């Protein structure tokens, strides 16, 4: 979208100032990614938010003038703004007002490639719009009033629009469920193939796609932009020890990832939940690398991803990071760290080693004694486990088997 934008960030406590500046920098990147030309930025401390208009009338007046001087067509706030505040802000600024959530939604909408991503993003957008219909009515009403229509018509229109949106939501949910089924079939096939799977996760722009490309022939789009990737791409890779693995590149995380998005992208993100091991990529050259890593953990929590899932922490872009002390801090704070550069391929041998180790830990060798009547369990174990030996004793099967961790709970009563 080729428009000029004025960015505004506020904070409530002096100690938050530095973070507010970083948020503004990130908002700037988001705005540029979307194609806005940023003509001005503004950070300031606010004592108390105005429930109705967020900033209060005086401030809106002042900033509105500033926006005019700067030639800004759109106002973008870093914070999430309620539908009512948004309406009042638009009235005060006499310009469209967006918040960070809406901006991220717009970027996602532009970058979506596959049918599934497009459906999911539309669902997120429609859900975002639903409580904001009044706002659209304000835009509409201005045109309509000048056309000499009556006010009541707009109210009726909102009712109709709301019904249309609700129906659209139901339709989208149904379509997404269908795509999800296909995805699950694929996932089951993968599970049967016993190939360990790795999800490359991390903050947006950490270098996830670069890593997938460096290891495989995926040729995923790599860009110095936020949210270059929205669709999951999986590729097989052969480790130096000839072990086959599947690597999955997926959508990047961000601080305060909008809830509407997390909800809508749940089925894509569930891919992450179903992989064996996570490769958490961190751009260590970024001044806020720690905050980014923490934000990633926040999103994992929101996705309810098992805390015990093995994670390899991959410190990326070491070619840009001279700060040894910082790297040491990461090594202390996060599990199993390796340092690499996805660009120069430095450190890849260590990465392979760490991946091989993690796979060894995945399957637990157990000795099990299972009644033969447990057909279903036995056949599942034969299918998914790595059987080392089988013997028959009376009515029991005695197996030495490497059991995938996700099946452990099913066999715990039969361990001998
Ligand atoms: N110097 C350097 N740059 C890198 C490295 N890895 C990735 N990059 C650059 O970082 C930028 C982002 O890389 P991507 O691979 O698109 O990052 P991503 O994590 O997939 O980002 P999203 O898909 O947007 O979430 C690109 O400009 C890459 O060239 C690295 O190890 N060193
Ligand atoms: Mg990417």
Kindly give the distance from the C-alpha atom of residue 232 to the centroid of ligand 1, in angstroms, as a whole number.
16
If you take atom 26 of ligand 1, which residue's CA is the nearest one? 224
For each of the domains in the chain, give its residue range(s) and CATH number, in order of start.
4-111 (3.40.50.11060), 115-176 (no CATH), 195-346 (3.40.50.300), 363-414 (no CATH)
Ligand nearest to the CA of 317: 1
Q: How many A from CA of 119 to the centre of ligand 2?
A: 19
On the 0-12 / 13-18 / 19+ scale of CB atoms within 10 A, 5 is: buried
Residue located nearest, by CA, to atom 27 of ligand 1: 224
Give distance in angstroms: CA of 40 to centre of ligand 2.
29
Closest-lying ligand 1 atom to the alpha carbon of residue 221: 16
Pocket test for ligand 1, best of 199, 203, 222 (most atoms within 8 A of CB): 222
Q: What's the CA-to-centroid distance between 153 and ligand 2, angstroms?
A: 46
Distance from residue 251's CA to the centre of ligand 2 (Å): 7
The atom number, within ligand 1, closest to the CA of 344 reads 31
Q: Which residues surround ligand 2, an ion (CB under 5 A)?
A: 208-209, 228-229
Residue 134's pLDDT is 60
pLDDT at position 295, please?
92
Q: pTM of this prediction?
A: 0.80
Alpha helices, DSSP H, located in 319-393:
324-333, 348-362, 375-384
Q: Provide CB contacts within 8 A for 9, sequence distance 6+.
A: 20, 21, 23, 24, 27, 41, 42, 43, 77, 78, 79
Cα–Cα distance for residue pair 400/404, rounded to 1 Å: 13
For 297, the enclosing helix (H) or strand (E) is: helix 289-302
The neighbour count for residue 84, using CB atoms within 10 Å, is 16
Please tell me the distance between residue 223's alpha carbon and the centre of ligand 2 in angstroms.
7
DSSP string, 27-93: HHHHHHHHTPEEEEEEEEE-SS-BTTTBS-HHHHHHHHHHHHHHT-SEEEESS---HHHHHHHHHHH
Closest residue by CA, ligand 1 atom 6: 207
Ligand nearest to C-alpha 208: 1
Interval between CA 406 and ligand 2 midpoint (Å): 28
Ligand 1, CB within 6 Å, residue ranges: 204-210, 222-224, 226-229, 252, 316-317, 319-320, 341-343
Question: What separation in Å is there between the alpha carbon of 307 and the centre of ligand 1?
Answer: 27
Secondary structure element (H or E) that encloses residue 8, with its range:
strand 4-11
Print pLDDT tens along the chain (416 aa). Answer: 789 999 999 999 888 898 899 999 999 999 999 999 999 999 989 888 888 888 888 999 999 999 999 999 999 999 888 888 998 999 999 999 999 999 998 888 888 888 888 898 899 888 888 888 765 444 444 444 444 444 566 677 778 888 888 999 999 999 988 888 887 787 777 666 668 899 999 999 999 999 999 999 888 888 888 888 877 888 999 999 888 899 999 888 888 777 777 877 776 777 788 888 999 999 999 999 999 999 999 988 888 887 878 999 999 999 999 899 999 999 999 989 999 999 999 999 999 999 998 987 787 778 999 999 999 999 999 888 888 889 999 899 999 998 876 687 889 889 98
**pLDDT value at residue 231:** 78
Pocket test of ligand 1: the residue of 205, 252, 281 to mutate, having most ligand atoms within 8 Å of its CB, is: 205
pLDDT the model gives residue 135: 56
Atom of ligand 1 nearest to the CA of 253: 25
Ligand 1 atom at minimal distance to the Cα of residue 229: 23
Q: What is the pLDDT of residue 230?
A: 79
The CA-CA-CA angle for residues 54, 60, 65, to 5°, reads: 155
Nearest CA to ligand 1 atom 16: 222
For the CA of 226, the closest atom of ligand 1 is 24
- Ligand 2 centroid–CA 207 distance in Å is 7
């Amino acid at each position: 979208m080729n428009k000029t934008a004025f960015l505004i960030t506020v904070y409530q406590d002096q100690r938050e100032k530095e973070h507010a500046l970083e948020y503004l920098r990130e908002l700037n990147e988001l705005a540029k990614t979307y194609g806005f030309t940023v003509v001005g930025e503004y950070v300031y401390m606010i004592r108390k938010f105005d429930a109705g208009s967020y900033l209060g009338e005086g401030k809106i007046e002042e900033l509105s003038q500033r926006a005019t001087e700067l030639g800004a067509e759109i106002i973008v706030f870093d914070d999430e703004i309620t539908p009512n505040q948004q309406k009042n802000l638009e009235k005060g600024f006499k310009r469209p007002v967006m918040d960070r959530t809406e901006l991220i939604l717009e970027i996602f909408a532009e970058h979506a490639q596959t049918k599934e991503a497009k459906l999911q993003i539309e669902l997120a957008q429609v859900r975002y719009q639903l409580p904001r219909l009044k706002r659209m009515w304000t835009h509409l009403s201005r045109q309509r009033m000048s056309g000499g229509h009556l006010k009541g018509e707009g109210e009726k229109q909102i009712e109709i629009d709301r019904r249309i949106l609700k129906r659209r939501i139901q339709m989208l949910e149904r379509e997404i469920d269908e795509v999800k089924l296909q995805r699950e079939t694929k996932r089951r096939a993968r599970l049967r193939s016993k190939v360990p799977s790795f999800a490359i996760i991390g903050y947006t722009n950490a270098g996830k796609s670069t890593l997938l490309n460096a290891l495989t022939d995926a040729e995923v789009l790599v860009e110095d932009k936020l949210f270059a990737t929205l669709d999951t791409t999986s590729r097989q890779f052969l480790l130096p020890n000839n072990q086959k693995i599947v690597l999955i590149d997926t959508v990047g995380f961000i601080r305060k990832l909008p809830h509407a998005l997390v909800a809508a992208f749940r089925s894509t993100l569930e891919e992450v939940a179903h992989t064996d091991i996570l490769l958490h990529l961190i751009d260590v050259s970024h001044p806020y690398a720690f905050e980014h890593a923490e934000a990633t953990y926040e999103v994992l929590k929101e996705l309810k991803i098992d805390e015990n899932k093995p994670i390899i922490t991959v410190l990326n872009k070491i070619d840009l990071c001279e700060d040894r002390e910082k790297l040491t801090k990461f090594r202390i704070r996060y599990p199993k760290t390796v340092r690499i550069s996805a660009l120069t391929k430095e450190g890849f041998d260590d990465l392979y080693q760490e991946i091989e180790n993690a796979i060894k830990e995945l399957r637990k060798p157990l000795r099990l004694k299972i009644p033969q009547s447990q057909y279903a369990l036995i056949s599942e174990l034969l299918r998914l486990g790595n059987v080392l030996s089988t013997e028959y004793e009376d009515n029991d099967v005695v197996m030495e088997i490497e059991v995938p961790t996700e099946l452990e709970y099913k066999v715990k009563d039969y361990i001998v």
